């Protein structure tokens, strides 16, 4: 099936603070990355584009990537914005895509239902940006319509699209994802994840 939505899964980081590739961290009898990919595939809301960078070869070898467009970002040290622009540059080549959903590969609380809810919110809303609202912050998964693609290509640094969203609140609606700010960046995050599961 070919969709009008693209899902951009960001997994290019080097996991410097964690000290080992977070993509390969064991979670729910799989890896953290495979868990994210399984949720995205189960949602069936868009064609999947996976951006890898650091440790790309070993990560590719250890995951099931059927029906996933794998993109290798050699400039992965440019930060999350660099991965967004890298992936988006591939997506915009296909005029069929009306929107993109940006997903982080290190959100262990992500469920396929949340991605479906993003699409439902978009269809019921007049907003061109739908963003997940955490307990005290907001961020991915986030949906952006095609009218924002060119602006997103200008992102820089490690803050992703946060400032862009702040500058476009009049075009934005939010969807609750209370545990979305729980990600894996440091050893203590990993310990908590292991203890909880």
pTM: 0.89
Question: What residue numbers bound the domain in which 157 lies?
Answer: 5-196
Q: Note the pLDDT tens digit of each residue in 21-74.
A: 667 777 678 888 999 999 999 999 999 999 998 888 888 888 888 899 999 999
- pLDDT tens for 73-99 read 998 888 889 999 999 999 999 999 999
Condensed to tens digits (0 to 9), the pLDDT of residues 121-136 reads 999 999 999 999 998 8
d(CA 25, CA 32): 6
How confident is the model at residue 65, as a pLDDT? Answer: 86
3-state SS, residue 194: helix
Q: Is the pLDDT of residue 143 over 80?
A: yes
User: What CATH number has the domain bearing residue 122?
Assistant: 3.90.550.10
Structural domain count of the chain = 1
DSSP letters of 36-85? Answer: HHHHHHHHT-SEEEEEEBTBHHHHHHTS--TTEEEEE-TTGGG-HHHHHH
């Amino acid at each position: 099936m070919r969709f009008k939505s693209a899902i951009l899964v960001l997994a290019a980081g080097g996991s410097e603070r964690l000290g080992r590739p977070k993509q390969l961290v064991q979670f729910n009898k799989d890896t953290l990355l495979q868990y994210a990919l399984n949720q995205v595939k189960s949602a069936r809301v868009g064609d999947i584009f996976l951006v890898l960078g650091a440790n790309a070869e070993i990560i590719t070898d250890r995951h099931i990537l059927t029906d996933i467009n794998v993109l290798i970002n050699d400039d992965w040290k440019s930060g999350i914005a660099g991965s967004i622009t890298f992936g988006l540059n591939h997506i915009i080549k296909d005029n069929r895509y009306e929107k993109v959903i940006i997903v982080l590969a290190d959100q262990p609380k992500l469920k396929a239902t949340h991605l479906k809810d993003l699409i439902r919110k978009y269809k019921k809303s007049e907003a061109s940006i739908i963003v997940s609202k955490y307990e005290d912050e907001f961020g991915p998964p986030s949906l952006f319509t095609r009218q924002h693609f060119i602006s997103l290509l200008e992102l820089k640094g490690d803050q992703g699209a946060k400032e862009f969203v702040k500058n476009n609140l009049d075009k934005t609606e939010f969807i609750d994802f209370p545990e979305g700010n729980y990600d894996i960046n440091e050893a203590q995050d990993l310990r908590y994840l292991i203890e909880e599961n």
